[in-house]
Amino acid sequence: MTVETPRASQPDAPARRRATFNTLRVADVRRLTEDSVEVTFAVPEHLQDDFDYAPGQYVALRAEIEGQEVRRSYSICTEPVPGEIRVAIKRDIGGLFSTWANEQLKPGDTLEVMNPSGAFVSKTAITSMNSPESLAEDAVARRADARLVAFAAGSGITPIMAIARSVLQASEKASFDLVYANRSAADVMFAEEIGDLKDRYPSRFAVHHVLSREQRLNPLLTGRIDAEKLRSLLDHVLRTEETDEWFLCGPFELVQLVRDELASRGVPAEKVRFELFTTGRPDRPAGHQGRSVAADPEGKQVEIEFTLDGLTGQVSSPVSARETVLNAALRSRSDVPFACAGGVCGTCRAKVVSGEFEMEENYALEADELQAGYVLTCQTRPTSEKLVVDYDA
Ligand SMILES: Cc1cc2nc3c(=O)[nH]c(=O)nc-3n(C[C@H](O)[C@H](O)[C@H](O)COP(=O)(O)OP(=O)(O)OC[C@H]3O[C@@H](n4cnc5c(N)ncnc54)[C@H](O)[C@@H]3O)c2cc1C
Ligand code: FES
């Protein structure tokens, strides 16, 4: 792939800010289910602009666990509330950060929190950041009667909660259908909050709990969501034709299944937003920083030049190492932004100024960002002698 003349980003592309970490205090840790907690961070007044967000965005968290620096991303789970940020963390079996957060994190602790980022936001009903008043104005200006549908599974509910609450609050005409898949009723995160939404917006919010290991009265809502069940849901439960925007957040297979089915029904891709928490490749769990690279003074080198916070750095990388831009850049500066290192979160995004490259995985960048020359530096390797990227663009 070659990029010579980068084009401007589309006007509708959600703003992505340069990622920076700030230390925030944990104000509350609330147990949601046996396996998940909601963590509230207090955002001091002087940082409120930095922590503005659009519902659906996430933050990266950084902590020192068992002597190693660990970074993971977590979606914000509430409508924007000045002065706080809330995330929900579900324990992943064998997972380092999520187990630590579920077992040890407590009020008063401090964590490094990156400013919110991500493109899993409504383009139909919401554009504003941290201001309920302008949310309402924008919703009216855009599509006050927007009809939104979400498919969430497990912890995939987190960004959906923020979007649903904001959209329903912002416009009296907006409606939201949620299909929420879990193993059992005990695994349902935000059960109380979902119940509240049903009570508060009985004619505009509907939830369809699908439980894979528990019998429900309706067989359609029992078992895993497979192609057949999905088709029935789309045909008989959801108003598929009238839906303005779709939100999908859950395991790779479910997201892919719904995307494929919607595409086969002619739903335009721009109406379908999705967020992946993992790559769906167990051999490559996201969230693991790059490897160290053996020097190869005799072998061929490539040059990687990168600009970050207005400063330009250069680093050589042995061709034999096949290392990514992020891996190489981190050797020269430790503040190069990244979180998942797995092509899922988009934190390591930079614009290619010149040179040739290949990008392995991309679960984070949208088509307009790719067109504008952005890459995920954790997935990008130079294929020319020199590659120049700009993290500030
Ligand atoms: C944009 C984004 C938003 C997210 N939002 C949320 C959210 O709101 N809530 C939430 O709970 N999660 C969310 N996640 C997922 C989260 O970032 C973490 O990936 C998750 O919590 C697991 O992290 P961990 O450190 O506990 O697990 P890890 O230690 O990273 O392990 C993950 C899994 O891989 C397995 N594993 C570890 N090492 C290996 C290996 N070498 N080989 C094979 N398997 C291995 C572990 O057993 C575990 O099951 C989000 C992710 C992204 C990218
Ligand atoms: S660090 Fe998450 S996509 Fe690169």
Q: List domains and CATH numbers for the chain.
A: 21-114 (2.40.30.10), 132-276 (3.40.50.80), 301-390 (3.10.20.30)
Cβ–Cβ < 8 Å for 330, 371? no
CA dihedral 161, 166, 169, 174 (to 10 degrees): -90
Which region among 15-19, 27-31, 149-153, 327-331 has the lowest average model confidence (pLDDT)? Answer: 15-19
Alpha-carbon span 390 to 306, nearest angstrom: 6
Q: What radius of gyration, in Å, describes the C-alpha atoms of the chain?
A: 21
Q: Residue 128: is its pLDDT beyond 50?
A: no
Give the ligand 2 atom nearest the CA of 349.
Answer: 4
**Which atom of ligand 2 approaches the CA of 379 most closely?**
4
**What atom in ligand 2 is closest to the CA of residue 345?**
2
- H or E segment and range at residue 264: helix 252-264
* 212-247 per-position pLDDT tens digit: 999 888 999 999 999 999 999 999 999 999 999 999
**For residue 35, how far is its CA from the centre of ligand 1 (angstroms)?**
14
Distance 19 CA to ligand 2 centre (A): 12
Pocket of ligand 2 (CB under 6 A): 338-341, 343-348, 364, 376, 378
Residue with CA at minimum distance from ligand 2 atom 3 = 343
- List pLDDT tens digits, range 154-204: 999 999 999 999 999 988 999 999 999 999 999 999 999 999 999 999 999
Per-chain mean pLDDT for the chain: 87
The residue length of the chain stands at 393
Measured between alpha carbons, how far is 76 from 35 in angstroms, rounded to an integer? 18
Structure tokens at 95: 């997972």
Distance between CA atoms of residues 380 and 359, nearest Å: 4
Which of 40, 74, 279 has most ligand 1 atoms within 8 Å of CB, for mutation?
74
For 381, residues 6+ apart whose C-beta sits below 8 A from its C-beta are 322, 323, 324, 325, 357, 358, 360
Closest-CA residue to 33 (of 207, 185, 210, 223)? 185
Instruction: Tell which one of 336, 338, 370, 389 to mutate to probe ligand 2, the residue whose CB is within 8 A of the most ligand atoms.
Output: 338
pLDDT at residue number 10: 32
> Which residue has the least CA distance to atom 51 on ligand 1?
277
